[in-house]
Amino acid sequence: MRPPDPPPVAAAMKLLVDVQNVTVRFRRKRNLRAMLTGGDVTFRAVADADLAIYRQEVVGLVGESGSGKTTLGRTILRLYEPSEGVVVFDGEDITHLREHQLRRVWRHMALVFQDPLSSLNPRHSIRTTLATPLRITGTDGAEIEPRVIAALRRVGLPSDALDRYPHELSGGQLQRAALARALMLSPALVIADEAVSKLDVSVRSQILNLFKDLQADLSIAFLFITHDLHVAAYLCDRIAVMFFGRVVETAPAHELFRAPRHPYTRALLATIDDTAEAPETARRGLVDPEVRGCIYQSQCPRRVARCGDAHPPTMTVGNDHTLACYNSG
Amino acid sequence: MWRTFRSSRVAQVGSAIMVFTILAIVLIRLFSPYQPNDKDYEAILQAPSLQHLFGTDSYGEDVLTRVAYGAEVSLLISFSGLILGGLIGTVIGTICGFWGGVVDSVAMRFIDLLYSFPTYVLALCLMLLLGYGASSVSLAIALVYVPNFARLARSMTTATRSANYIIAARLMGQSSPRILLREVLPNIAAPLMVQFSAGLGFGIVLEAGLSFIGLGVQPPTPSLGVMMADGKDYFEKGPWVLSLTGLSVAWIILGLNLLGDGLRDAMDPRLRRRRS
Amino acid sequence: MSAVLEVSGLNLVLDANARRLHVVRDVTLDLRQAEVLGLIGESGSGKTMTGLSLLRLEPEQSDITATTLRLGETDLLVASQSALRALRGSKIAMIFQDPVGAFNPAKRIGWHARQVLRQRNITAWRDKTHDLLAEVDITDTDRVLDAYPHQLSGGMLQRVLIALVLAAEPQVIIADEPTTNLDNIVERQILRLFRRLKHSHGAAFIFITHDMTVAAALSDRIAVMYAGEIVEIGPTRDIFDVPKHPYTIALIRTAQALQARAGRLPEIAGELPSLARHPTGCAFASRCPHRMAACDTTRIAMTQTDPQRQVRCLLHAPA
């Protein structure tokens, strides 16, 4: 099914990111038992994942902690190297590029972190932080200052923030500064990893609005990694749901919220319905990430015999709607 | 940072001691009626008096003048030794910490080997290899301090390497040497500077020790160690030579250590004020 | 109904690096039996410090003052350290955001259960533990009791902690963001658990959270904190139906707009005031759409708008 049938609107758009069958394994800390039993010394953070992002599209990657959504995001940035599968960015296979080759690719990508304070060098003023990407790419010296000021304005920071240091700014201002840096080189893709979840409620809506404005004004594709379904629903055109390293369902946002197909998506969506006392759907078994068969089987209320045999293949079930489930009903 | 430093009592006292010391050295060099090697056999081993505030030694040389010149020599030796050791150690440590891998394993094992030698044994071996003299003492201090700086720089770099702002710098397309220089180094400079200021005091002790046993700076160059070695020979007849020189050493080390403590407090971000 | 916890005029001033931070300002609230009071605020609003003050676990370098700070018959302000220690756990207890910190990592869960029950002179601890854990929906008791804290998930650990806190049957339980670190699905389960416990136990809860929707799902009454002060307090339903303080209005409107996926979210302009520079007048004035001249100059008191509700705003002050 790769790439999935482009949606009517997206058909006109070009594929920007194409993640195909990507598996990411990390080395587990070596312990005595593993050495003695010859057990597996790696664990699988992302398993056989597919994800496509079209130019200018806003995609949400939703899942709970440990679902591998951050790992998948960073694999697209090639901060991690997949052990299987292919990552294509703007038509180029970047799966196994070396760091010096990646620098060329990275000019078109940016990452916004959950904690903005940790993402800004405490020893650099905001001016230095924003000017650095321009300096590296050999921007003419006289052009730097006006472009830095323009970037500051675009994210709604006052110009007296230029000479401040990260610890002198508030959480909302810091995330604006981090966003300004991400946009400095006009990237084609911005990956925002829980970019609003650490912010205070009263500041969060400011930043969400800022993201909305930027989506409207700039021709950038966004990947929003979040555990907050409201945020994903508000910002995204299309949403991919992850569970324990697997992408279990992707669909246009409105369709996913209207008619979720995967039992896990349904359980997840039930949590945001405040009024209805959602029925206890999820069973509370332990999830074995290396299990044979469907990753969700131990939690699933709709389990059938087949679920124990192999993880269900990802199928296209509707317009731009993919699903990995044998018994979605 | 400087505000915390200035408001710290420890730092104030330390700075005051060091300013006073350096001022005293300069003034004595400029205005003392004596030269460090002016021998006056009419006035040997005189107790402290208005003519000779620290008394005279067995050659009739003015002890205060010699302490001033000696302190300068000792400070310079210690300073140059630490600069050299600090630079080499920091370069090795940051490179090992940043890139890791085989280079890191090999270099750090070598550093550990160096570190495991007792300081004086290491210094003595080096003196025997290089011969005696001020520059050898400097090199010995440098060698002793290479592992200190290397280990500190490495651990700090390792901790910084995975910070989010370093990942952001990589994604911006900065080259590794540039990241090391512009992003990592400013963040690990503080503890290295504290190490440096703390090391200055120990450098003086090491110099004094080596010169005291005759392996360091050679007479007639006045250094604090040389003077103490002389002073011990006629301690009974002129106790002021050894004791006043020793007190001067203690005084300088006190100043340097307080300065180092003040610096450490000032650079600890938890003690730093938030200026919002 | 009688109040199990009475607080009035509570102030807490922290001594931080030669600066005095007034983190809790004139907090007055009472907690009735079998009631859940939601304490809502953003980071730095003083909600956690208020919670800690109620257990007299405020930071060491701080000054606590209050007109009344009473738990049942005990005056917490003058109680001795040993008396306070005896109260904590038995009469008043706290559940933290991070349950991991509440457990000794080197000891199994069973050991912790035994410790708690020994204080209550219960010898048949395994049977009793069985009941306690069943109450928080843990069925495979033996496996859990033999596990070390790190072997359990955050949600599971929080359940165990709640069970152990309930074992002592305290009158007042202060829960500080107990679900914030948990996944959505687990959060829902724990909230449901709290709702059930509220009925089955007679305990009164103070539920500290930054999340309006969480507070709404659980609380009988809500107190909204801003910059160290309670700006509005009243029954949950009333506050959600007709919020009165501009800050509460903005918070609720923001949460609802996000859920409704409205085009543009209403913003609360500006940022929280710095703790070191608390304004003379209303702390929210600089962000408030209804700001008047008097807001910046007068110290604003709580106004009783109806028998159940109080609000700290000049818009609702008697003329």
* pLDDT per position as a tens digit, C99-135: 888 888 888 988 888 888 877 766 677 788 888 888 8
Contacts of C233 (CB under 8 A, 6+ apart): C29, C221, C222, C223, C224, C309, C310, C311
Tokens representing A304 are 């059938």
Cα–Cα dist A227/B63, whole Å: 75
Neighboring chains of C (3 or more beta-carbon pairs < 8 A): A, B
- The beta-carbon contacts of C135-143 under 8 Å, at least 24 apart in sequence, are C135/C163, C135/C166, C135/C197, C135/C200, C136/C160, C136/C162, C136/C163, C136/C166, C136/C193, C137/A284, C137/C189, C137/C193, C138/C163
Residue A1's pLDDT is what?
A: 40
Q: Is the pLDDT of residue C189 over 70?
A: yes
Q: Which of C179, C185, C189, C264 to mutate to test the interface with A (most CBs of A within 10 A)?
A: C185
A158 upstream amide cis, omega within 30 of 0: no
pLDDT band, residue A35 (cuts 50/70/90)? low
| Contact map slice: C 57-96 vs A, CB within 8 A | none
Chain B residues touching residue A124 (CB < 8 angstroms): 183, 186
The answer to whether the beta carbons of residues C130 and C141 sit under 8 Å apart is yes
Residue C229's pLDDT is what?
A: 92
Cα–Cα dist B81/B225, whole Å: 16
Q: State the sign of the Cα–Cα–Cα–Cα dihedral C118, C124, C129, C135.
A: negative
The answer to whether the beta carbons of residues C10 and C28 sit under 8 Å apart is yes
* pLDDT per position as a tens digit, A128-159: 999 999 998 888 889 999 999 999 999 999 98
- AA identity, residue A195: A
**Minimal C-alpha gap between A170 and chain B (Å):** 8
Q: Which residue of C has its CA nearest to A236?
A: C261
The answer to whether the beta carbons of residues A274 and A28 sit under 8 Å apart is no
- AA identity, residue C88: R
Chain B residues touching residue C274 (CB < 8 angstroms): 276
CB–CB contact A200 C272 (8 Å):
yes
CB–CB contact B273 C274 (8 Å):
no
- For A171-237, the DSSP string reads HHHHHHHHHHHHHTT--SEEEEESTTTTS-HHHHHHHHHHHHHHHHHS--EEEEEES-HHHHHHH-S
Q: Which residue of A has its CA nearest to B276?
A: A168
Q: Which of B1, B3, B9, B274 to mutate to test the interface with C (most CBs of C within 10 A)?
A: B274
CB–CB contact C258 A201 (8 Å):
no
Chain B contact for A101 (CB, 8 A cutoff):
no
CB–CB contact A123 B274 (8 Å):
no
Chain C contact for A275 (CB, 8 A cutoff):
no
Q: Is the pLDDT of residue C1 over 70?
A: no
pLDDT band, residue A279 (cuts 50/70/90)? very low
pLDDT band, residue C21 (cuts 50/70/90)? confident
pLDDT band, residue A34 (cuts 50/70/90)? low
Q: Which residue of A has its CA nearest to C181?
A: A65
Greatest mean pLDDT among A252-256, C146-150, C164-168 lies in A252-256
Tokens representing C58 are 């405020």
Q: Is the pLDDT of residue A176 over 90?
A: yes
Residue C119's pLDDT is what?
A: 73
CB–CB contact C272 A231 (8 Å):
no
CB–CB contact B276 A106 (8 Å):
no
Neighboring chains of A (3 or more beta-carbon pairs < 8 A): B, C
CB–CB contact C210 A234 (8 Å):
no
* pLDDT per position as a tens digit, A289-303: 777 889 888 888 888
**Minimal C-alpha gap between B152 and chain C (Å):** 28
Q: Where are the beta strands (DSSP E) in C90-131?
A: 92-95
DSSP B62: B
Chain B contact for A111 (CB, 8 A cutoff):
yes
The reply to whether the predicted model has a pTM over 0.90 is no
Residue A188's pLDDT is what?
A: 95
**Minimal C-alpha gap between C181 and chain A (Å):** 9
CB–CB contact A133 B173 (8 Å):
yes
Cα–Cα dist C246/C15, whole Å: 31
- Phi first, then psi, for residue A322 (nearest 5°) are -120, 155
Q: Is the pLDDT of residue A281 over 70?
A: no
Q: List residues of B whose CB lies inside 8 A of any C CB.
A: 271, 273, 276
Of the candidates A79, A122, A136, the beta carbon closest to that of B172 is on A136
Residue A283's pLDDT is what?
A: 45
DSSP C26: E
Cα–Cα dist A322/C28, whole Å: 54
What does chain A come to in residues? 329
Cα–Cα dist C158/C160, whole Å: 5
* pLDDT per position as a tens digit, B227-260: 888 888 888 887 888 888 888 888 988 998 888 8
**Minimal C-alpha gap between A248 and chain B (Å):** 29
The answer to whether the beta carbons of residues A202 and A170 sit under 8 Å apart is no
CB–CB contact A282 C185 (8 Å):
yes
The answer to whether the beta carbons of residues C299 and C285 sit under 8 Å apart is no
Q: Which residues pair with A84 in a beta bridge?
A: A23
- For C196-235, the DSSP string reads HHHHHS--EEEEEES-HHHHHHH-SEEEEEETTEEEEEEE
The answer to whether the beta carbons of residues B54 and B60 sit under 8 Å apart is no
Chain C residues touching residue A204 (CB < 8 angstroms): 254
Q: Which residue of B has its CA nearest to C275?
A: B276
Chain C residues touching residue A170 (CB < 8 angstroms): 271-272
Chain C residues touching residue A205 (CB < 8 angstroms): 254, 257-258, 265-268
Stronger pLDDT, A188 or B65, i.e. the higher one: A188
CB–CB contact A234 C42 (8 Å):
no
Chain C residues touching residue A272 (CB < 8 angstroms): 184, 259
Tokens representing C74 are 């005990």
Chain B residues touching residue A151 (CB < 8 angstroms): none
- The beta-carbon contacts of C84-90 under 8 Å, at least 24 apart in sequence, are C84/C55, C84/C56, C88/C55, C88/C57, C89/C116, C89/C119, C89/C165, C89/C168, C89/C170, C90/C119, C90/C168, C90/C170
Cα–Cα dist B91/C199, whole Å: 65
Chain B residues touching residue A185 (CB < 8 angstroms): 172
Q: Is the pLDDT of residue C31 over 70?
A: yes
CB–CB contact C265 A278 (8 Å):
no
Mean pLDDT of chain A: 86
Q: Where are the beta strands (DSSP E) in C82-186?
A: 92-95, 172-176
Q: Which of C14, C15, C17 to mutate to test the interface with B (most CBs of B within 10 A)?
A: C17
What's the rounded mean pLDDT across residues A177-195? 94
Chain A contact for C303 (CB, 8 A cutoff):
no
Q: Which residue of B has its CA nearest to C271?
A: B276
Q: Which residues pair with A53 in a beta bridge?
A: A17
What does each of the 276 residues of chain B score in pLDDT, given as a tens digit? Answer: 566 666 677 888 888 998 998 898 888 888 877 777 777 777 777 777 777 778 777 777 888 888 888 888 888 999 999 999 999 999 999 999 998 888 888 888 988 888 888 888 888 888 888 887 788 888 888 988 999 999 999 999 999 988 999 999 999 888 889 999 999 998 888 888 888 888 888 888 888 888 888 777 777 778 888 888 888 888 888 788 888 888 888 898 899 888 888 877 776 554 444 332
Residue C246's pLDDT is what?
A: 94
Say how many Å lie between the first and final Cα of chain A, rounded.
21
What's the rounded mean pLDDT across residues A255-263? 91
* pLDDT per position as a tens digit, A85-104: 999 999 999 999 998 999 99
Chain B residues touching residue A190 (CB < 8 angstroms): none
CB–CB contact C261 A229 (8 Å):
no
Chain A residues touching residue C266 (CB < 8 angstroms): 205
CB–CB contact C19 B276 (8 Å):
no
Across the beta sheet with A246-252, what order do the strands follow?
A109-112, A189-193, A221-226, A58-62, A238-243, A246-252, A321-323, A315-318
Q: Which residue of A has its CA nearest to B186?
A: A123
**Minimal C-alpha gap between C214 and chain A (Å):** 9
β-strand C221-226 against C229-235: which pairing, if any? antiparallel
Chain C residues touching residue B271 (CB < 8 angstroms): 17
Instruction: Kindly tell me the burial class for residue B30, based on how many C-beta atoms sit within 10 Å of its own C-beta (0-12, 13-18, 19 or more).
Output: exposed
Residue B276's pLDDT is what?
A: 29
Residue B8's pLDDT is what?
A: 72
